[in-house]
Structure 1
């Protein structure tokens, strides 16, 4: 399918109003990008943070009369009176194929490789996880996932029981199993994530060692020697008592999905239940680890 887009110059004061106007005039999607290569941190849940100079992009079907769209935008009350804009056609691409072409095998720690299922593993004798994330989060490219994979690679997992809290694509659960864990329980709020984890477990021939649950279905007596949770700082704090309950005495914990400025507060909060280590950082993100108190 062919597309056409309109790019409109904005500031942080005008961007939201322009977005509303584009939506009301039929845009199929609206995107904000930085006009001055000035990166900002990922917004917190429920928060929208914009650059000082922003380009707002509205995406339309290629058959749309863009002259009429521009005239409608000029009349919209939330639009600046004079706005710079550019209308351009988009090349019709196989976006899924392009993404697949750019997802390469990656090494984490000493032994562990994450390999796209459609590529050959570069180190056949290494611990290789074959991954097709599908609609679920988790390829290893995000710093939070990388931090968790590196932590798992550094553990002695042989025979251990593990919980993957927020399992997504199953990347952490399957990595733990390939590194020697006896059994992993994966929990996620998204049914698509459960299905993605299940398919990736089959692909790696570890499906018999992986149990998957939606939160309401998880066993009430579930406990493990190791728990990893790669979600967000807000849910990690909200779910802290439940997460702590899932880790047996002297068990190990890893938390990720939090920004560096959130790490110290969350570390202090978890010290109610765990002997916490100093945070580990990658780019703007952090990982917390600890050992469950007796």
Structure 2
């Protein structure tokens, strides 16, 4: 389990700069982003951080807007403290609350999800996690098999289980995410989610009615054919982790391999796409 690097960016003009820089950093392996009043913070495992590569990528934008950043190492044991001091519970459409164990909520929610962050992607603060949950709440998954691919904290698998999906499978390549998902399942008294460590290659021979994949554009493009092979006919594939500018490329791939486009949602340029297998 590695420490994480936190980059805090000050950006001007804010909206334009945030969107462009977050998009660029997501391509460099940064896993999570939190927008703040003056810019945003970004997180990446320390062993994946390459300052030379980062500065080269950022150099292309110096003529378009102003930005600066500071770097800090966050040891794994300090992440709960970092979380507690910086983040608040997330309310999604008044129906779903995502909170840490130390957060208290007076309101009754249909879905009250407890997440011990552990620096895994999927605490609910990222636009893509919220987009995925909003889409999930529109779907009928009761009694249907579901896969949360790239599960992070396991929040989508937990949400699906609470909505009646059964059985649920959660997969991630990261040791920390695997451990965190198992812990979060226990905290939410979920016992029908099966967690595996690995990538899309372990899906061979498995079938699901619904597949959720909140990862990044490059992985989605590379693995989409495997998702389709693992999807039942008339099954749902919900994708996020990319920007609106990536939609055409992803749709082109999806339509070419037997998927039918159903819907799209956008939040601060981050995008969700919903497809159904023909």
Tell whether the structures are fold-level matches, with TM greater than 0.5.
yes
Instruction: Give 1:171's match in structure 2, choosing from 141, 144, 155.
Output: 155
Residues 243/58 of structure 1: CA separation in 2 closer, same or farther (3 Å cut): closer
Structure 1 residues 195, 37: closer, same or farther in 2, change over 3 A?
Answer: same
Q: Does 1:155 align with 2:134?
A: no
The correspondence for 2:194, drawn from 211, 215, 225, is: 211
* Mapped contact 1:263–1:279 kept (Cα < 8 A): no
Aligned length, in residue pairs: 231
**Greater fraction of residues in helix:** 2
Taking the aligned partners of 1:261 and 1:102, their CA distance within structure 2 comes to 30
Map residues 1-294 of structure 1 onto 2, 5 A cutoff. Answer: 33-34=9-10, 36-38=12-14, 39-40=17-18, 41=20, 42=22, 43=24, 44-46=26-28, 48-50=57-59, 51-52=61-62, 53-55=66-68, 57=70, 96-109=80-93, 111-124=95-108, 126-206=110-190, 208-215=191-198, 218-271=202-255, 272-293=257-278
Q: TM-score, normalised by structure 1?
A: 0.71
| Deviation at residue 110 of structure 1 after TM alignment | 5.4
Deviation at 1:109, TM superposition (A): 3.7
Structure 1 residue 106, shift from structure 2 partner: 1.9
Q: Describe the shift of the 1:95–1:172 C-alpha distance in structure 2 as closer, same or farther (beyond 3 A).
A: closer
Secondary structure of 1:266's aligned partner: helix
How far off its partner does 1:126 sit? Answer: 2.1
Q: How far apart are residue 273 of structure 1 and its match?
A: 1.9
Offset at 1:244? Answer: 0.9
- Residues 122/243 of structure 1: CA separation in 2 closer, same or farther (3 Å cut): farther
CA deviation profile, 1:238-283 (whole Å, cap 9, x unmatched): 0011111121100111000011100121012101221112421111
| Contact 2:147 2:208 (C-alpha < 8 Å) held by counterparts | yes
What is the distance in 2 between the residues matched to 1:218 and 1:45? Answer: 24
**Preserved CA contact (<8 Å) 2:80 2:118:** no
Distance in 1 between residues matched to 2:105 and 2:27, nearest whole Å: 36
SS across alignment from 1:268: helix
- Using the TM superposition, give the Cα deviation of residue 180 of structure 1 relative to its aligned residue in structure 2, in angstroms: 1.3
Runs (4+) off by over 4 Å: 29-32, 56-60
Q: Which consecutive unaligned segments of at least 5 residues does structure 2 have?
A: 29-53
In the TM superposition, residue 59 of structure 1 has moved relative to its aligned partner by 6.8
Tell me the TM-score normalized by structure 2.
0.75
Deviation at 1:54, TM superposition (A): 4.0
Question: What SS does the aligned partner of 2:27 have?
Answer: coil
Q: Tell me how far 1:222 sits from its aligned partner.
A: 1.3
Tell me the distance in 1 between the aligned counterparts of 2:238 and 2:184.
Answer: 22
Larger C-alpha radius of gyration, 1 or 2?
1
Structure 1 alignment gaps of length 5 or more: 1-28, 61-93
Give yes or no for contact 1:110–1:153 (8 Å, CA) kept in 2: no
C-alpha RMSD of the superposition: 2.5
In 2: Cα distance, 1:58 partner to 1:102 partner: 17
Q: 1:96 to 1:122 in 2, by over 3 A?
A: same
| Offset of residue 215 of structure 1 | 2.2
